[in-house]
Amino acid sequence: MIKNYFQKRNLNITDKILAFDFTLLFLVFLLGLISLFAMYSSEQGAFSYHTQSHLYRFTIFFLFFIFISFLNINYIYKSAYIFYIFILILLFAVDSFGVTSSGSKRWISLFFINLQPSELMKISLIVFLARYYNKIPSQNVNSIKHIFIPFISFMIPVYLVVKQPDLGTAVLIAISGLIVIWLTGFRLKYFLYSFFVLICLIPVGISFLKPYQKSRILTFLNPERDPLGAGYQIIQSKIAVGSGGIFGKGFLQGSQSYLDYLPEKHTDFIFTLFSEEFGFIGSLFLLIIYALIIYRISKIGSQSRNNFARLFCFGFAAAFFVYVTVNMSMVLGLLPIVGAPLPIMSYGGSSMLAIMTGLGIVMSCKIHRQEEVL
């Protein structure tokens, strides 16, 4: 049965390999290679736990990315609802059986990995909405009937993730859903009305924030209010980025990271470490790689015949852009600190699995770009 999904519409394995977007494949591999050097540097030039784990994960998930690429787009289309429901069940399971770390219950133990379902929800929601809107005429997307289900589909996971608590990931999930809805032709005025209502509800929302979340907002507005406490991380991050200058201090020469002034440098703040060592030029090079990946994903979407592939590719490209922008803005002090890993670069299995799954679906869209989903 599985064989039928790999061989459909007269495409054999060789045809599918030749249909790969090798530019995208190379860019993802290059980004993974850079991330390994950055992880090696974060452990002060030692091939220790984080570097080894990151290497194993990237290798396995890169192969998984290729595996997903070979799946027929119709199989992915038909599995969209199942994928979403499965991740939603895992989110509910986190509340009862989740693993608690640093005061948050975000992970569920699968023996070989502590999985963070909220990361996978970012991708499954895009797949779900792409299928839901696939056969809905653009003139009908603004009807109440076709607004209710998408609204519920991202509000339930957002609520569950906020409860963990993980406000940053909840916001990214909501943005992922709203992006796909906007791409369907949803009227801009409804977004503006909703935005106005949200602005009015900010005072109410602040009252529900936990103390550490309020502290992050105050620290974002004025890091110097607590330079040795809540503001320490962002202050050190800015110092590290600024000290990198134009060309950087050199590989393994970052003083902020080597002297342990920079906490969490292997996770959400990996860009800070990279900027200190490779400077503005290195940071620009990294940004170009991300920009090219987003461009290739969008181009694949524009070349696809079916609406499902177009919606997913454009939605994933926009969401990918948001993930990169939020992380880099966060470490530069332009946004409050939230749990937003830098795609592929940051340490974390769930985030990398989610991104590689999304890239695999994009590659499947490329290979089967001439097919219609049934």
What is the C-alpha separation between 158 and 54, in angstroms, rounded?
A: 28
- pLDDT of 34 reads 95
Looking at the domain assignment, is residue 374 inside a domain? no
Q: Percent of the chain, pLDDT > 90?
A: 39
- The domain total for the chain is 1
In a domain, 92, yes or no: yes
Domain-embedded: residue 22? yes
Q: Is residue 373 part of a domain?
A: no
Among the listed ranges 155-164, 231-240, 272-281, 286-295, which one has the minimum average pLDDT value?
231-240
Phi and psi at residue 47, to the nearest 5°: -80, 70
Smallest CA-to-CA distance from 299 within 13, 23, 15, 8 is with 23
List CB contacts of 265: < 8 A, sequence separation 6 or more: 42, 257, 272, 273
Please indicate, yes or no, if residue 244 is contained in any of the structural domains: yes
What mean pLDDT comes out for the span 292-312? 93
Give pLDDT tens digits for 203-226. 666 666 677 667 777 777 777 776
Q: How confident is the model at residue 301 (pLDDT cuts 50, 70, 90)?
A: very high
Nearest to 215 by CA among 338, 62, 118: 338
Structure confidence by residue, pLDDT tens digits, 269-290 = 899 989 999 999 999 999 999 9
% of the chain exceeding 70 in pLDDT? 88
Mean pLDDT, rounded, for 101-129: 83
**What is the reported pLDDT for 6?**
45
What value does the mean pLDDT of the chain take? 84
Residue 318, number of CB atoms within 10 A of its CB: 21
Q: Return d(Cα 133, Cα 147) in angstroms, integer.
A: 10
Domain presence at residue 258: yes
Task: Specify the pLDDT at position 149.
Answer: 86
Average pLDDT over residues 58-62: 95
Q: Say if 372 falls within a structural domain.
A: no
Q: Could you tell me if 129 and 122 are in contact, meaning their C-beta atoms sit under 8 angstroms apart?
A: no
CA distance linking residue 79 with residue 364, whole number of Å = 14
Quickly state the pLDDT bin for 310 (edges 50, 70, 90): very high
| Torsion over CA: 351, 354, 358, 363 (sign) | positive
Higher-confidence position of 12 and 80: 80
Helix (H, G, I), strand (E, B) or coil at 334: coil
Give the domain extent around 97.
Answer: 2-367
In a domain, 247, yes or no: yes
Q: Determine the average pLDDT of the residues in 1-22.
A: 68
The average pLDDT across 127-155 equals 84
- Residue 201 pLDDT level (bands cut at 50, 70, 90): low
CA angle 311, 313, 317 (to 5 degrees): 115
Of 104, 102, 41, give the one whose Cα is nearest residue 250.
Answer: 41
Both tokens of 19, joined, read 């249909």
